[in-house]
Structure 1
Amino acid sequence: MRNYKISGYAQGTSYNISYFATDSVVTKSQIDSILNVIDLSMSLYKPNSTIISFNNAEKGILIDQHFVNVFKKSQIINRETNGIFDVTIAPLVQYWGFGPKPVTNKQQEQPVNEILAQVGMDKVQLSGNLLQKSNPKVTIDLNGIAQGYTVDVIADFFEKGKIKSYVVEVGGEIRAKGPKPDGKLMRIGIEGPSENDFTEPAIKHIIEFKEGAVTTSGNYRKFISKGDKKISHLINPKTGYPFQNEMISVTVFAKRAIDADGYDNALMGMGLKEAMKFLAKKKNLEAYIIYKNKDGKITDTLTSGFKRMIVK
């Protein structure tokens, strides 16, 4: 058994893949072709993608199967999180300066509640492969979940190829399966902000597991500074404003990366008390949360299942 590694760039980020096999059964061109198909479906940076066609459409369009899969999962997470996770948030993401286009002053003068009128999953309906919107101004942003889905598509491709041991990482979202040929389990470093520099990530813990997905959502990396204020890239679809709570980062462990990726942002938005209550009910999710306590000190908490995976 040899360890094969493939890396490259896609979806505006890097990817790193490692697998054990007797032969190089998976090639870089195969991975790039999978990534390209997903980009043509859900990338806001590809002018000919399906998502751009939908966003530009007056009423709706037929969408591909990747898009259908991600949209259906988004509907489930939207319902379970009482609307905190919402893929129709695109106009607000753009408004606050985190979208694909540069922000103009004219856009910033528009009242937030006007933009809120274009947001809400109730304004979008999927029947079969037809995705329709009730308001032509409704636009979708799948960036909070599409990367996790991408990781799953590649991991499932390995599963079909009977590869028993692999790590798939796209933009920091990971799915891995072990054990390695030497019998060792998979080990993944869990990131959080370093103690002395709030914006610089540092490895906080190392976890070990046989099989599963790990994703992290944090507001210590992606933010915009306005004066002495930091504006988080995580926007509340109910108020139209960036979330402001004690959360710094949430790392989620789940069986599949689409789940870990979809729920990590929502947990960030909930705040600590709500997030822990939510996790107590969701038996298929484990999480590690870094937050600021009442004294402004950085501290952390975690679910018992996550604690069991920590080796250091």
Structure 2
Amino acid sequence: MICIATGAAAQEPVTLQGQAQGTYYIIKFIATGHDTAMLHEDIRDIFQDIDRSLSLYHSGSLINRFNKGPKVVMDDHMRAVVKKAQEVSKLTDGSFDITVKPLVDLWGFGVTPHKNGRPSAEAIRRTLRVVGYQNLIIRAKYLIKKKDGVEIDCNGIAQGFTSDVLGRFLQSRGIRDFLVDVGGELVASGVNARGLPWSVGIERPPAAGNVEEPVQAILQLRDRAVATSGNYRRFFDDGGTRFAHTIDPKTGEALHNNIITVTVTAPDAITADAYDNALILLGVEKGLQFVQQHPKLKLEAYYIFKDAEGRITERHSPNFFAAP
């Protein structure tokens, strides 16, 4: 879980907040002479524009039109998200895959949730036939599916994308110092009102001792983004096992490993948001190894997990807490 840390400041930043995309948003920025009411109206328009493209809850959205038919003409939002998703899918060998939607629906975590418990092995096997990023073709302005039944779900990347879009909007208005938070996917630019990097709190267990309540770790962000994926928001218990809403596109299984959360920092929020999904499925060892093996991505990762004895512990890449 991520939250914006607070503290004494030389001046209070402007704060805009509300509800969108099924979650909250909080935007803080340092600027004077701006019509904040007009800015907020423009921001609401941006959310609506992205929803018309990528929201599964918007009946006439581009994504729903694609899911119902063989192809769709993409707008700029869909093109950017799908291209990024395909790039991440290839690099992670399919650990991140937006064609996972049929599996998400099967497990009861989709637009129309259900509580039918764990699907049968046969149902998973059958559904896997239409899952796989290789089933998508990007041809000029078109997104095309290779077979009937292929559907996409961009919820694992869309909020990070939205944070980036909002950040670019603020920059277009001459605002350079800001922190955008859309449902826990954050992008930071410049400095806060004290002239320091933006402070973001991450809940974690203490490094030593037997205190069970989490304490706050403070992450300093400047011209960087952060996203978190975990098993604490949407899940169900079946047969003594907790199944979380993150679905492995390769096996069809819902997440049920020992990881509580993984937090990822990256140069932009769409990257952080996509890779936090992949890294939680890869697990601690393979995930940290992936970060080390792909330095050009400029990723850092922080895991909270239960060890073999059931104790909550943590590991992170060497530069996760490095000062910006």
Give the TM-score of the pair, scaled to structure 2.
0.88
1:51 to 50, 57, 63: 63
Which residue is equivalent to 1:175?
187
Q: How big is each residue's C-alpha offset from its partner over 1:228-259, in whole Å with a ceiling of 9 and x where there is no partner?
A: 32111111111111133232211011110000
- Matched length: 305
SS in 2 for 1:237: coil
Within 2, Cα distance between the matches of 1:231 and 1:193? 22
Which residue is equivalent to 2:304?
290
Within 2, Cα distance between the matches of 1:119 and 1:251? 26
Deviation at 1:39, TM superposition (A): 0.5
Decide which moves more: 179-188 or 232-241. 179-188
Which residue is equivalent to 1:214?
226
Change (3 A) 1:193 1:54: farther
Q: Which amino acid aligns with 2:232?
A: Y
CA contact (8 A) 2:231 2:255 kept: no
Which residue is equivalent to 2:157?
145
Within 2, Cα distance between the matches of 1:254 and 1:35? 23
CA contact (8 A) 2:241 2:256 kept: no
Q: Which amino acid aligns with 2:80?
A: N
Structure 2 residue 85 is matched with structure 1 residue 74:
yes
4+ residue segments displaced more than 6 Å: none
Which residue is equivalent to 1:257?
269
CA contact (8 A) 1:65 1:129 kept: no
CA contact (8 A) 2:137 2:145 kept: yes
Q: Which amino acid aligns with 2:203?
A: E
Deviation at 1:4, TM superposition (A): 1.4
Which residue is equivalent to 1:111?
123
Which residue is equivalent to 1:42?
54
Which residue is equivalent to 2:141?
129
Within 1, Cα distance between the matches of 2:215 and 2:139? 44
SS in 2 for 1:233: strand
Percent identity of paired positions between Structure 1 and Structure 2: 38
SS in 1 for 2:27: strand
Change (3 A) 1:73 1:149: same
SS in 1 for 2:320: helix
Within 2, Cα distance between the matches of 1:169 and 1:180? 14
Q: How big is each residue's C-alpha offset from its partner over 1:1-31, in whole Å with a ceiling of 9 and x where there is no partner?
A: 7621111111001111111111234521110
1:155 to 167, 174, 177: 167
5 Å matches for 1:266-305? Answer: 266-283=278-295, 284-305=298-319
Which residue is equivalent to 2:100?
89
Within 1, Cα distance between the matches of 2:203 and 2:84? 26
Q: How big is each residue's C-alpha offset from its partner over 1:63-107, in whole Å with a ceiling of 9 and x where there is no partner?
A: 1110000000001100110110000000000111110013386x9
Q: Which amino acid aligns with 2:66?
A: F
Within 1, Cα distance between the matches of 2:79 and 2:126? 28
CA contact (8 A) 1:164 1:178 kept: yes
Within 1, Cα distance between the matches of 2:240 and 2:256? 15
Which residue is equivalent to 2:13?
3
RMSD: 2.1
Within 2, Cα distance between the matches of 1:18 and 1:102? 34
Q: Which amino acid aligns with 1:102?
A: P
Q: Which amino acid aligns with 1:267?
A: L
Deviation at 1:108, TM superposition (A): 4.9
Q: Which amino acid aligns with 2:16?
A: I
Within 1, Cα distance between the matches of 2:144 and 2:89? 17
CA contact (8 A) 1:54 1:139 kept: yes
Change (3 A) 1:252 1:102: closer
Within 1, Cα distance between the matches of 2:77 and 2:215? 33
Structure 1 unaligned segments of length 5 or more: list them: none
Deviation at 1:203, TM superposition (A): 5.1
Decide which moves more: 70-79 or 109-118. 109-118
Deviation at 1:222, TM superposition (A): 1.9
Structure 2 unaligned segments of length 5 or more: list them: 1-10
Within 2, Cα distance between the matches of 1:203 and 1:262? 26
More RCO (CA 8 Å, sep 6+)? 2
Which residue is equivalent to 1:17?
27
CA contact (8 A) 1:246 1:272 kept: no
Q: How big is each residue's C-alpha offset from its partner over 1:289-311, in whole Å with a ceiling of 9 and x where there is no partner?
A: 1111111111001111113249x
Which residue is equivalent to 2:71?
60
